[in-house]
Every structure is written in structure tokens, then in C-alpha cells.
Chains A and B, each alone.
Chain A
Amino acid sequence: MKRERRQLSYLDSVHRDGRVWGFSILGIIILFPTLLCIIFNVLPNFTALGKGLIAVLPMYWAVGLVEIFTYVPMLGAGGAYLSFVTGNISNLKLPCALDAMEKAGVKATTEEGEIISTIAIAVSSIVTTIIIIIGVCAIVPLTPVLNSPVLEPAFKQLIPALFGGLGVVFVSKNVKLAIVPCALMLILFIAIPALNSGTVGIMVPVSVVITIIVARIMYKKGII
């Protein structure tokens, strides 16, 4: 009983602090362009602002909304509060958390999983921020290296290199569950030209929902 109460209090404090940090950072993020306007004594070009927002808002707000429902259960509470502030979720934070939980041998559904996921995502956020700070300080000597045509293919293939490693671990552990979603996504991405790097973000929630339905059917039939 005592154990349960402590667990609840940890998670509750994560939610409380996550909200405080989240709303505070939301405040200073909005303050940034506001202060730019005040300091340089200028207003945005409202026509261009409207056009720009029409071009990005419907898509990014819709995707953002779906992403919350998709990624929050996977990231855990602490991981979610951090990841939705620091960004780069599918290409960095979530793979990092998954790998950490897998290596630590903890389930994402337990408090140990919550702790490991939070630690991995926090460390990843700190290291990313520090690397970008170092990079920004040394941007002049680094630019030719980072823009080098020799290295360009390596950076371009980050996602395949990341998901090759991650995929082999998860597919080998859930072979039965993997067959239908993997086959379906392969067919869809190969057959439909509109599915590409720009639309993979939309396909993640679609694939997650399909996999859950398949998993439910397999679970009910006693296959998994």
C-alpha cells in the first residue's frame, strides 16, 4: 500500500512539474517573436504571415494533435513532457528511449520503464543541446565540414541507419505481430508515390492504429 502511494506521488509530481515547465516554456517561446517586434520596433508582414500560416498550420497542427496521442503513451509521462519541448521525437528521442528500456530490460508500462525512458530522453536532450551549442560557437570552421558533399549521404541516410538497427531488435522480439503492419506499410509506401519523407510523419499514427487493431485480433484469437 505504502509502495503504491509513493509510486502515485512520483508520477503525480512528474505531471505537476511537467505542466509548470511546459506552460513556462510555452510562455517564453511566444515571448521571443514578441520581443523581436518590440526591440526592432517592427510588426510582422501580416499578409505574408497569413499566407505562411495557412501553408503550415492546418497540416502541422493536425499532425501535432495526432502525434500527442501516438507518442505520449510510448514516451511515458516524464519523457513526453521533455520530448514535446525539445522536439526530434521520432528521429531521436523515442528510438533512444526504446533502446534504453530494451537494454535495461524494463517494460515501458512499469515505473522502472518510466524512469529509464525519462533518463534516456533527458540525457539525449542535454547532449543534443550541448552539441548544437558547440556547433553554433564553431560554425565558421565547421560549416565546410558539415556541408561537405562527401558526408552529405551519411546525414541523408540517418533514418534508414537508425531504424535498421532498431527494427531488427523489435521485429525479432515480436515476429508474429510484425508481419501484417510491416507488409502493409511496405505495400503502401511502394505503391503510393505520395507516401515519402514528407508524409511518413502522418503514416506513423496510421500504422500504429492498424497495428493495434491487428494485435487485438491476434490477442483475441490467442495467436500472441
Chain B
Amino acid sequence: MEFSVNHPIIFVMVAVIILAVLGQSVFFLIRAIKRAKEKGMEMAKIKSTIISAAIFTIAPAISILVGVVALSKSLGIALPWLRLSVIGSLSYESIAAERALEALGLGTDITITAPEAFVTVAWVMTLGILIGLILTPILTKKIQSGMKTLEKKDKRWREIFQDAMFMGMISAFLGFVFCDVTLAFKGDFTGFIPVLVFFASAIVMAVLGILSKKNGFKWLKDYALPISLIVGMALAIPITSWLG
């Protein structure tokens, strides 16, 4: 069969895998909603979780789409579509594709024409991300059981432990936001762009949080994070043109 990065057969295979992944999400969603009903959880709460999760996802999903477009120059559309829909994250997939293309003596801006090069890149990208897929089914139950044991021993510590994990993750990203501020000593103020975006988003979130406690504005609570995300991203445009 004559090869092309956008050959219909590749699209068909990718579509089948993505449908399977979609099937898994729908399966777990239905299962969780059923369980929520059994437990007598408020359906209004479930509905609001669904709506706000969907709205919150739009902007990050579009940024993932930007990654598909970036990788499509060399790899066609189907492979980046698969890699960024299943397991992949933009930072990982871009690096994996670049390393594989480098090893082949190719660049990310030239479309692959040789099937040998394409399958090599596909294998590197696939094998690189397999660890999570192999170990999650094996380890998840064990890790969760460990957390349950911790809870049985000391419930209060278990809750603090969970908060500490969340806080640890947020602290790492807070540090990351500030990682380039020292460039200012060299007269380059671009390192302050993420810092200003971070604070803009934080201020919007704080204001929305206060407003949502007032009567008539309670609905804002459901949309506070997506609004702060979008406002932060939108403000990145003038901030970048100011400091960039």
C-alpha cells in the first residue's frame, strides 16, 4: 500500500482507538452517576459538576489542539491526533517526536514521506508513554489500599496527607511560574509575563469567590475557575506585547 502521513487507513485505526478511549470515559461516567444516585447524592450537584468540568476543559483542550497542528507539519494529522488524545501531553509528545525525527536526521517542519521513518516515530512515541498504561492497572488498587490503611490508622492525618499532596503539586507549579524572573537582571522582562498572568488569574478567582458568596451571584461559583483561566489567558496577550 502506498504510504502517506494522512493515509485514510491511518485515520481509521486512530478513530477506532479514540472511540475505545471515549467508550471508557462514557462507561466510567455512567457508572459514577449511577453510584451517585444510589448514594442519594444531590443530582443538582452532579449536573453542576458535569457542566463546569465541560466548560473548564474547553480552553486547555484548544491548547492541546494547537499541539496537534504543530506536530502535523511533519507527522500528518492522524498520528498527533492519536498521541495527544490518548495518554500524551503536549510537552512529552513534542519532545518524543523531535528526538525520533532527530535520530532519523529529519526536522519537525518537513513532512515525512518514507513509511520507515513514520513507523519509527510512531514506535518511539508509543513505547515512550507505555509505563503509565502498564502500571496503572497493576498498582492503582494497591496504592488506594495503602491510602485506606492510612485512613483507618488516623483519619485526620489522612485528610492532611491528601491536602499536602495537592499543595505540593500547586507549589511546584507556583515555582515554575517564577522560574524566569531573574532574566530581568539582563534587561529581559519576559520572565514576568507568567507571573503577571498568574496573579491576574488569582485576583479574578478571589473576586469571583467573594462575589459568589453574595445572594444572586451564587451561580458564579460553578464558573469561577474557567472564568479566571480565560481572563488570565486573554490578559496574557496585552501583557506579552507589553513585556515581550
Contacts and interface: CB of A to CB of B under 8 A. Distances in A.
Partners in one complex: yes
B57 A124 contact: yes
Given A45-B120, A85-B87, A167 B17 contact: no
A133 B129 CA distance: 22
A86 B61 CA distance: 12
A121 B24 CA distance: 11
B167 A188 contact: no
Interface in A169-200: 169-174, 177-178, 181-182, 184-186, 188-190, 193, 195-198, 200
A18 B65 contact: no
Contact-residue size bin, chain A (C-beta under 8 Å from the other chain): 35 or more
B113 interface: no
Top 8 A-B pairs ranked by shortest CB distance?
Answer: A161-B232, A164-B201, A185-B175, A208-B168, A189-B175, A165-B228, A211-B168, A153-B240
Interface in B56-111: 56-66, 68-69, 72, 77, 81-82, 84-92, 95-96, 99-100, 102-104
B140 interface: yes
B211 interface: no
6 contacts: A81-B136, A86-B86, A128-B57, A136-B77, A158-B60, A210-B168
B24 A21 contact: yes
Given A146-B65, A159-B176, A161-B198, A29 B133 contact: yes
Interface string A82-107: 10111111111011101110011001
Interface residues of B, number: 153
Contacts of B123: 33, 44, 49
A184 B237 CA distance: 30
B1 A41 contact: yes
A67 B132 contact: yes
A65 B225 contact: no
A145 to B, nearest CB: 10
Which residue of B96, B175, B234, B240 has the most chain A CB atoms within 10 A of its CB atom?
B175
Which residue of B38, B116, B167 has the most chain A CB atoms within 10 A of its CB atom?
B167
B212 to A, nearest CB: 10
B96 A68 contact: no
A43 B21 CA distance: 27
A48 interface: yes
B169 A156 contact: no
Contact of B137 (A23, A33, A61, A169): A23
A147 B27 CA distance: 35
B131 A100 contact: no
Nearest to A22: B137
Contacts of B232: 157, 160-162, 164-165
Contact of B177 (A21, A163, A219): A163
A89 B89 contact: yes
A163 to B, nearest CB: 4
B74 to A, nearest CB: 14
A143 B212 CA distance: 38
